[in-house]
Structure 1
Amino acid sequence: SYHNTFILGGGPRIGHAVAEKLASQGYSVALGRRSVHPSVDIKNVMSVTVDVASIRSVETAFAQVRTKLGIPEVVVYNAASLTFPSRQDDPFSVPPEAFANDTAINVIGGYTALCAATRGWVELREGSSAAHKHRGVFIATGNVTPFYPNPFATSLGAGKAGLVHLIKLAEQEYKATGDRQVLPSPWITRWYVQAWSLTSVDVVGRFLGVNIGTPLQRKLSKLACLLFGIAVVFAIVCMAANEFSSNNEVIMYAVATGISMIPACLVVVLTITMARNVIVRKLDSLEALGAVTDICSDKTGTLTQGKMVVQKAWIPSRGTYSVGPSNEPFNPTVGDVSFSAVPPSEFDHEKPGMAENAEGMVSGNRQLEDFLDVASMANLSHVYKSEEGEWSARGEPTEIAIHVFASRFNWNRDRWMKKGQGEGTVWHQKAEFPFDSTVKKMSVIFNKITPEEDRTMVFTKGAVERIAESCTSIIWDQESSTPVPMTDHHREKIIENMEELAKLGL
């Protein structure tokens, strides 16, 4: 029978080419990509969403492939990440944060895939008959950077070198096990490190500029390379016609002939032609604008004013809180607040609940208090009422919208952190960890000092997937205040309700 194959890293070249080739030969193929879109689906190939930088995402992807196709006997790790040094003369000018992000993809993701693959092969070995021989194959695509250091590929070379070490270590261990022949069925494992790919070509292409930039910039780079080659040929012809004489006049004539082939005014003429009656900071923006075929806009203030309003919030153990229409995004007193004890997936959006007193909802509602603590404390915006009585705000639109939502319940950050307002200073900030694109979340550390308690809390907000991955427990059951262990079922329900809100454009 044909092998089940799982390819991690569905790039448009190697990943897609390998998937199409194996599928055409009868393999059952699953292709793991960061984002799955129907327009790039391959016939007879299962598409799986996977973020190789996330351990949980890789393990979940293997579980999905196992459910649909069976245990993958062939695993291809084609994922890679490369950050070029900011200075070409310094290979260590790659920011440490970018290096860590690349390492998570190049090494940790590969190690997680390696662990998941070997666990599956062990199960196949233990459940197979003596007459049936399994072959576990792990292929890691790569290039020569682990063996020949390249100053342009600092993070990629280090990551691929680590992956090579893991594969060679696994090769030694499993080769020894297979040589013993003590198991009821022979177990043959083949490991491959393919030290070739288009990555080396990509590095040269980036240096020449033929595979980066806009289509016009790439065409101009190719034209420049072609003209340079022609200039070199003509210079050689001139030198050859003079029997490669070392006379200065001959050399100058040959060089002048080569230089005359290069259109020095091409860039100037192109700039004047493209930027007629247009003032731009970057010329490539004109090309991008010229390639636009459709312009889509919305009727809300997100694009027109850069202002947003939180309309729904879901607390699993309580229900869904909704905010009515508001023409003043900074004013927490405008817009009715209602509550429904169902999740968004079961919410009837055409029949909103009855408006209630927002401050009254907080009384005796510990889950809502905890939610509002995060909304107001893990927030860098400032929502306030001016001396003229008008509500204003400073900060990012998303954070302002979250802060305004908390203020509807009289849970404004100033109430708990400034003296002379509300109940006085209760929360004292100790540290702040700004939003990081690698972890997709931000955190703050606060001390809560009251006559009844003195405790330290960490408040975190960010991408739903990353927050769910970080949680180990959750208060889930309705009307319950007891945390239970966070399971994959809980995470799936959270994502399901998040997608339900996303369908509404919220």
Structure 2
Amino acid sequence: MSSPVLLAFGAGPNVGLALARNFAKHGYKVALAARNPNPDVSKAADLVVEADFSVPDAVVSTFAKVKETLGIPSVVVYNAYSWHPSPDHPFSISVSDFNTDMVVNTTSAFAAAQEAMKSFAQLPADASKTFIYTGNIFNIPGRLILPGTSLGAGKSATAHIIANAASTNPSNGYKFYYADERTPDGEPVMRGISGEAHGEFYYELARNSKQGPWLATFVKGKGYVDFSAKDRV
């Protein structure tokens, strides 16, 4: 039996590297795609693809290269993001920068999920068939920060897409998650993101054969924690 394949978009030295190492430890072949691949990250992967996700077509070409080189991905992680801060007021960034952020944070993520669906249809019934989008708390109404206009818009739009996908695909075994690392009290981790926690939690999502809560809020050392009551406040 051939090894399963992980494809991660947006592979940096924190989350991307941890994903590569953890999934490889569990027998996966690892493909990482990034605009400027980090040397340490590259060493941890079986295949590295240079790609700019401000161009959605780069997602399609990345899938084609991975399929040709390693095989069909059974786990796809979209970890890429773009953010042009709006420090003065919500409309203090240019339309061009806003559009770039929306393309990277949403349009290319949509393209990745679409290509993942096509890939999953070619896999055997017992394959993982898991799509994970690395989100944050910005999709929760009222939890935005002023400089995060474009980032919050992109995360919110993609959260909507993931929620719809998760509700319509359980019968075919496809799983979709919006993953959001939190502190133990449910606050955003901000710059305290744990690559190790992402690697461990994402593998657990992939390993579970059933769709769990699409809004996959998790805490380092604990895994999934339901913060829905707190987020409604």
TM-score by length of 2: 0.73
Aligned to 1:154: 149
Partner residue of 1:139?
A: 132
Aligned pair 1:108/2:93, yes or no? no
Residues 197 and 141 from structure 1, CA distance in 2 versus in 1: closer, same or farther, beyond 3 angstroms? farther
Aligned letter for 1:47?
V
Deviation at residue 92 of structure 1 after TM alignment: 2.4
> Structure 1 residue 56: deviation in Å?
1.7
5 Å matches for 1:151-300?
Answer: 151-175=146-170, 178=171, 187-196=172-181, 200-202=189-191
Query: Hey, what's the Cα distance between the residues in 1 that align with 2:156 and 2:79?
Result: 15
Secondary structure (helix, strand or coil) at the match of 2:6 reads strand
Q: Is the 8 A contact 1:20 1:42 kept in 2?
A: no
Task: State the 1:4 CA deviation.
Answer: 0.8
Deviation of the 1:160 alpha carbon: 0.6
Contact kept, 8 Å, 1:31 with 1:48, in 2: the verdict is yes
Q: CA RMSD in A?
A: 2.1
- 1:39: Cα distance to partner? 6.0
What is residue 299 of structure 1 aligned with on the other side? none
Asked if the contact 2:17/2:44 (under 8 Å) is kept, the reply is no
Greater Rg over alpha carbons, structure: 1
1:25–1:196: structure 2 CA closer, same or farther, 3 Å change rule? same
2:49 aligns to what?
A: 48
CA distance in 1, matches of 2:73, 2:133: 15
Please give the alpha-carbon distance, in whole angstroms, between the structure 2 residues aligned to 1:121 and 1:82: 30
* Residue pair 1:53, 1:105 contacting (<8 A) in 2 also: yes
Structure-2 change in CA distance of 1:74 and 1:197 (3 Å): farther
Q: 1:293-343: CA deviations, max 9, x gaps?
A: xxxxxxxxxxxxxxxxxxxxxxxxxxxxxxxxxxxxxxxxxxxxxxxxxxx
Post-superposition offset of 1:81: 1.0
Structure 1 CA distance, aligned partners of 2:103 and 2:111?
10
* AA in 2 matched with 1:28: K
Does the 8 Å CA contact 1:23/1:45 hold for their aligned counterparts?
Answer: no
8 A Cα contact 1:65 1:71, kept in partner:
yes
Q: Distance in 1 between matches of 2:146 and 2:116?
A: 33
SS in 2 for 1:32: strand
Aligned CA distance change for structure 1 residues 99 and 56 (closer, same or farther; 3 Å): same
Q: Which residue in 2 is equivalent to 1:92?
A: 91
| TM value normalised by structure 1 | 0.35
Question: 3-state DSSP class of the match of 1:196?
Answer: strand
Q: How much does 1:190 deviate?
A: 1.9
Counterpart of 1:196, as a letter, is E
Q: Within 5 A, what are the aligned runs for 1:116-135?
A: 116-124=115-123, 128=124, 132-135=125-128
Partners of 1:123 and 1:94 lie apart in 2 by: 42
Q: CA deviation at 1:35?
A: 2.6
Q: Deviations over 1:189-246 (max 9, x none)?
A: 222211227985239xxxxxxxxxxxxxxxxxxxxxxxxxxxxxxxxxxxxxxxxxxx
Return the offset for 1:42. Answer: 2.1
The number of equivalent residue pairs is 185
Residue 3 of structure 1: how far off its partner (Å): 2.2
Q: Which residue of 2 aligns with 1:74?
A: 75
Deviation track 1:75-97 (CA, whole Å, cap 9, x = no partner) reads: 0000111111142xx23212221
Q: Pick closer, same or farther for the CA change 1:144–1:15 going to 2, 3 Å.
A: same
* Residue in structure 1 matched with residue 209 of structure 2 by the alignment: none
Partner of 1:6: 7
Identity level (%): 31
SS at match of 1:153: helix
- CA change 1:3–1:117 in 2 (3 A) is same
User: 1:142·1:197 contact (CA, 8 Å) conserved in 2?
Assistant: no
SS state at 1:170 partner: helix
Structure 2: segments with no counterpart, 5+ residues: 193-233
Decide whether aligned partners of structure 1 residues 22 and 10 sit closer, same or farther in structure 2, where only a CA change above 3 A counts: same
C-alpha separation in 2, matches of 1:112 and 1:49? 17
Q: CA deviation at 1:5?
A: 0.6
* Letter aligned with residue 149 of structure 2: T
- Give the structure 1 partner of residue 58 of structure 2: 57
| Inter-partner Cα distance in structure 1 for 2:166 and 2:175 | 8
Contact 2:120 / 2:174 at 8 angstroms: preserved in 1? no
Aligned counterparts of 1:106 and 1:56: Cα–Cα separation in 2: 14
Q: Determine the C-alpha separation between the residues in 2 that align with 1:22 and 1:197.
A: 22
Q: C-alpha separation between the residues in 2 aligned to 1:197 and 1:45?
A: 30
How far apart are residue 28 of structure 1 and its match?
A: 0.8
Which consecutive unaligned segments of at least 5 residues does structure 1 have? 179-186, 204-506
Query: 1:122 deviation in Å?
Result: 1.4
Kept in 1: contact 2:31–2:47 (CA 8 A): yes
For the structure 1 residues 200 and 101, does the alpha-carbon distance in structure 2 shift closer, same or farther, using more than 3 Å as the test? farther
| Paired position in structure 1 for 2:21 | 20
Compared CA separation, residues 134 and 39, structure 1 to 2 (3 A): closer
Post-superposition CA distance 1:437-496 (Å, at most 9, x none): xxxxxxxxxxxxxxxxxxxxxxxxxxxxxxxxxxxxxxxxxxxxxxxxxxxxxxxxxxxx
Q: Distance in 1 between matches of 2:38 and 2:147?
A: 32
Deviation at 1:162, TM superposition (A): 0.8
Is this contact kept in 1: 2:56–2:103, CA < 8 A?
no
The DSSP-based 3-state class of the residue aligned with 2:30 is strand
> What does residue 35 of structure 1 align with?
36
